Amino acid sequence: MIPDKIRDKLPLTEDKKQLLQQQTISQHTPGKILKDFQTILEFLQPDGVQVSSTHRQFPLKYFQQLNSKLSYPIDINLKRPVQKSYPYIHGLYFLLRASGLSQLITTGKKTKLVLDPKILQIWHNLNPTEQYFTLLESWLVWGDNKLLGDERDMFDQAYLCLLFWGDIPEAGLKFNNYSEQDKLYYPGFHNLALLHLFGLIELTSGKPQPSKGWRFTDVKPLPWGNAIMAVLTESRTDIKIENYAQFRQDFRIAFETLKPYFQPYFPEWSQTLVIAEGGFTEGTYIFKVTLHNAWRRIAIPSHLNLDEVATAIVEAFDFDPRHLYRFIHQNRMGRIFELDHAELEFNPDTSDFRLGDLSLEVENHLQFIFDLRNEWEFDLYLEKIDHDNGEIQQPQVLESHGLPPVQEEEYMVYLIEDEWKADFRKPDDN
């Protein structure tokens, strides 16, 4: 829920509405976000850049080059900086991933961050207003901290920024030393940098001390920022999107959540950036399924539901199928979709979705957690979708390598007469 102090502080008044209606959006106003985002896009062209193996972020050798090209280059005075040491770069990387314009391509042990040419062409066809609000939504609505290598936050970026806005006085905040700025627990330094780039706040950087990193001295909300936050507050109150990024059953991925709330002030917002239309993909999916050191190449028709997919996987590894399970898919924008066995009643039901409903792309990974007590983690890597092969109507194991681990446990949970019952024996007991 939105705290009362934020709703009371951020009413969508007539003067804010007038400001929104009068605002012109271009490459340079409000803020420098479109200019600096274009700098990041140009940096990745034509072939992308190799990223770190741990968090898939830019390596050290690129930081000074990128920092010097941005609208607000900063001095951090660190000997071994990482990407988050440069909050403006970190924030722009966040947008690059959350917007779907980029994708990670892994070849062997190396991973590159590259631009998706199809999505990039759509991006270039958008006008500045459409680009601005696409980035605003990808950040505040859909951005997930896991894209930055952090733990998944229970709150979206919009909520964190609104909390911050509720605490900042109109006169702004002053930070006299590192100790004071380190107490700024939310919205996070990368979000602070993005607030600046989007023209929502005025921010003044200071001179860093050795080995201390980015230093900022003053943060002040701007009228444009007050207006944007007022619309965000109203949207969350009206349609109760406390969980903006919750599961979408049609798997459509489009930046259109905020459109009904901002388009009345910006009628030039016509087109929407669509990454995936949703719907059903016909074909035979070829997965390389890995569990520990064993793997199986399995062909699975797209018309099978996820319960049937689960059975095919565990039987290919000689596991007893009578357990609960969960499928987890994190797409390239960091959006996480979880589908559970019907008995769990937490997330959408696996029996309600066919494999072809998931909008999986070649080289995507699908995680399959089997037996939620022992949590056997299967990795399903989609190698190919054969759209022309209609001969395979049931799952087929095409290739098999390695012995699967032994499925041992203190007890097993069986489905007997449509009821789950626990049998407190080891599987090999008489």
Same domain assignment for residues 73 and 201: yes
Query: Does some domain include residue 430?
Result: no
Same domain assignment for residues 34 and 61: yes
**Preceding peptide of 46 cis, ω within 30°:** yes
* Domain final position from 260, 276, 292: 276
Same domain assignment for residues 195 and 63: yes
**C-beta separation of 224 from 136 below 8 A:** no
Query: In this predicted structure, what is the pLDDT of residue 237?
Result: 65
Query: In this predicted structure, what is the pLDDT of residue 390?
Result: 65
Which structure tokens are listed for 10?
A: 């951020």
Query: In this predicted structure, what is the pLDDT of residue 112?
Result: 94
Q: For residue 74, give Cα distances in angstroms to 40, 65, 161, 214, 332.
A: 16, 12, 22, 7, 29
Whichever domain contains 292, its CATH number is: 3.10.290.30
Q: SS3 for 4?
A: helix
* Domain final position from 276, 303, 324: 276
Which structure tokens are listed for 151?
A: 């733990």
Q: Tens place of pLDDT for every residue, the chain, 430 residues?
A: 667 777 778 899 999 999 999 999 999 999 999 999 999 999 999 999 999 988 999 999 999 999 999 999 999 989 899 999 999 999 999 999 999 999 988 877 889 999 999 999 999 999 999 999 999 999 998 888 888 888 766 678 998 999 999 999 999 999 999 999 998 888 999 999 999 999 999 999 999 999 999 999 999 999 999 999 999 998 876 544 434 444 445 678 889 999 999 999 999 999 999 988 878 889 999 999 999 999 999 999 999 999 999 999 999 999 988 899 999 988 878 778 889 998 887 778 899 999 999 889 888 899 999 998 889 999 999 999 998 766 778 999 999 999 998 886 544 444 444 454 444 444 444 3
Query: Does some domain include residue 417?
Result: yes
Tell me whether strands 376-386 and 201-205 are parallel, antiparallel or unpaired.
Answer: unpaired
CA triple 52-53-56, angle to 5 deg: 55
- Cα 358 from Cα 345, distance rounded (Å): 19
* Domain final position from 256, 276, 296: 276
Residue with tokens 């070849």: 107
Instruction: Look up residue 146 and give its DSSP letter.
Output: G
Query: In this predicted structure, what is the pLDDT of residue 248?
Result: 45
Tell me whether strands 365-370 and 325-330 are parallel, antiparallel or unpaired.
Answer: antiparallel
Q: For residue 272, give Cα distances in angstroms to 80, 291, 395.
A: 40, 40, 38
If one counts every other C-beta atom within 10 angstroms of the C-beta of residue 176, the result is 9
Per-residue model confidence as pLDDT tens digits over 175-214: 999 999 998 888 999 999 999 999 999 999 999 999 999 9
Same domain assignment for residues 268 and 318: no
Nearest by Cα to 105 from 62, 138, 144, 56? 56
Same domain assignment for residues 272 and 288: no
Same domain assignment for residues 269 and 299: no
Same domain assignment for residues 258 and 375: no
Query: Does some domain include residue 429?
Result: no
CB contact set of 406 (below 8 Å; sequence gap of 6+): none
Query: Does some domain include residue 362?
Result: yes
User: Helix crossing, 87-98 with 128-140: angle to 10°?
Assistant: 100
Q: Is 395 exposed, middle or buried (0-12, 13-18, 19+ CB in 10 A)?
A: buried
Query: Does some domain include residue 428?
Result: no
- Cα 422 from Cα 430, distance rounded (Å): 16
Same domain assignment for residues 272 and 333: no
Same domain assignment for residues 250 and 158: yes
Per-residue model confidence as pLDDT tens digits over 279-306: 888 999 999 999 999 999 999 999 999 9
Instruction: Look up residue 193 and give its DSSP letter.
Output: H
Query: In this predicted structure, what is the pLDDT of residue 125?
Result: 97
Nearest by Cα to 398 from 407, 409, 389, 406? 389
Identity of the residue numbered 384 = K
Query: In this predicted structure, what is the pLDDT of residue 397?
Result: 96
CA dihedral 282, 389, 381, 383 (to 10 degrees): -120
Query: Does some domain include residue 294?
Result: yes
Q: Domain residues for 405?
A: 284-423
Count the domains in the chain. 2
Query: Does some domain include residue 406?
Result: yes
Same domain assignment for residues 319 and 193: no
Query: Does some domain include residue 179?
Result: yes
Same domain assignment for residues 84 and 132: yes
Same domain assignment for residues 78 and 100: yes
Query: In this predicted structure, what is the pLDDT of residue 17?
Result: 97
- The backbone torsions φ and ψ at residue 203, rounded to the nearest 5 degrees and listed phi first, read -135, 135
CA dihedral 331, 148, 181, 157 (to 10 degrees): 0
